[in-house]
A and B are shown apart, each in its own frame.
Chain A
Amino acid sequence: MDVLVNGKTESLPLSACLTDMLRKRGNDVKTVVVELNGRIVPHEEFAQTCMQANDTLEIVHFVGGG
């Protein structure tokens, strides 16, 4: 299925959960923040949050800044 991640289409296995998807992307599950369809997903819900086709995700983290 296709979902929109950070403005780009990414292909995921059907009903993939957030934790698996983040690991597959090579992202640090502990330090990223995820917004799914405009709602921030608490870290403790990553494992049980499954995505559906055409979901919109923002995956962000801290970078250097002033």
Chain B
Amino acid sequence: MTADIPFILGGIPLQSRLFLGTGKFGANSLIPAVAEASGAEVVTVAMRRVDKNGQGITAHIPSNIRLLPNTSGARTAEEALRLARLARAAGCGTWVKIEVISDTRYLLPDGYETARAVELLVKEGITALPYINPDLYVARACAEAGAAAVMPLAAPIGTNRGLRTKEMIAILIEEIDLPIVVDAGLGRPSQACEAMEMGATACLVNTAIASAEDPVRMAAAFKTAVKAGRQAWLAGAGAVRARQDGAEASSPLTDFLQ
């Protein structure tokens, strides 16, 4: 079996195609075991004000894992830039997941502001990973502005609704010459597997794992699913037969029960 095509993001080769989000866990102390079970090499974090005696999440993230700070809370490109600068000052590298959202009900990312944010961040030497609606024009604008990948949503964030934007993600996979990291809305390992079978480069999962009864086991399930989907894509699935063409025997037709 030939080896997989290397997954290189922002100049860094990655083995794992599952990124883990760290929000909504019952306790941050769960994260080391979840991270290990997921096999993730990249985890997302958010940046927030520190209360008195407030403890951050950094201590709970294994040191071999790369942090991907997001700009959640930003409503404009300029706010995203401010958060990105703060994130970079934390000293954990130059990767930033751009999230620019002003809609409070569906939390859909603002494509115009996101593309502008990519431009601003890339000018400052930040590796920009924009979270987008799977919109071809927005994805192209992000690519032209120098994004290192695009991160299209499968469904509204935190909903576990699955691969609702499948058609549009398939178009991005076909048209955009960047890693496609399916992010937000995946609720089941089978859905992550399906995204990978379509040719997505990687998946980012948070709520589906954090909201599971056993997050560690669910992380392991997603790890397996993403790997299976990737293998299936590399293997090249056989053609689907049209219903009106009937079925085709997979065993040789008998020659003695005539």
Which residues on A are within 8 Å of B, measured CB to CB? 6-7, 25-28, 31-33, 35, 40, 42-43, 58-66
Give the distance in Å from the alpha carbon of A33 to the alpha carbon of B50 in the complex. Answer: 9
Give the distance in Å from the alpha carbon of A62 to the alpha carbon of B46 in the complex. Answer: 5
A-B contact pairs, 28 of them (CB 8 A): A6-B49, A6-B50, A26-B52, A26-B53, A28-B56, A28-B59, A31-B90, A35-B86, A40-B86, A43-B89, A43-B91, A59-B50, A60-B47, A61-B54, A62-B46, A62-B87, A62-B90, A63-B57, A64-B23, A64-B28, A65-B44, A65-B45, A65-B72, A66-B70, A66-B72, A66-B157, A66-B184, A66-B207
**Of listed A25, A33, A35, residue having the most chain B CB within 10 A:** A33
Contact status A33-B204, CB under 8 Å: no
B21-55 residues at the A interface, CB under 8 angstroms: 21-25, 28, 31, 44-55
Contact status A63-B56, CB under 8 Å: yes
Give the distance in Å from the alpha carbon of A9 to the alpha carbon of B24 in the complex. Answer: 30
Known: A66-B44, A66-B184. A60 touches B24 (CB 8 A): no
Give the distance in Å from the alpha carbon of A32 to the alpha carbon of B86 in the complex. Answer: 10
Known: A33-B86, A40-B89. A66 touches B23 (CB 8 A): yes
Which residues on B are within 8 Å of A, measured CB to CB? 21-25, 28, 31, 44-59, 67, 69-70, 72, 85-87, 89-91, 157-158, 184, 204, 206-207
Write out the residue numbers on chain A whose beta carbons fall within 8 Å of the beta carbon of B87: 33, 62
- A/B pair count, beta carbons within 8 Å: 99
Contact status A61-B21, CB under 8 Å: no
Contact status B24-A64, CB under 8 Å: yes
Give the distance in Å from the alpha carbon of A59 to the alpha carbon of B54 in the complex. Answer: 11
A5, chain B: closest CB distance, angstroms: 9
Known: A66-B21, A66-B184. A61 touches B50 (CB 8 A): yes
Write out the residue numbers on chain A whose beta carbons fall within 8 Å of the beta carbon of B51: 6
Contact status B67-A62, CB under 8 Å: yes
B70, chain A: closest CB distance, angstroms: 5
Write out the residue numbers on chain B whose beta carbons fall within 8 Å of the beta carbon of A26: 52-54
Give the distance in Å from the alpha carbon of A60 to the alpha carbon of B56 in the complex. Answer: 9
Write out the residue numbers on chain A whose beta carbons fall within 8 Å of the beta carbon of B49: 6-7, 58-60
B59, chain A: closest CB distance, angstroms: 8
Which chain A residue shows the least CB distance to B92?
Answer: A62
Write out the residue numbers on chain B whose beta carbons fall within 8 Å of the beta carbon of A63: 45-48, 56-57
Choose one: A7, A28, A40, A62; the contact of B45 (CB below 8 Å): A62
Give the distance in Å from the alpha carbon of A6 to the alpha carbon of B86 in the complex. Answer: 14
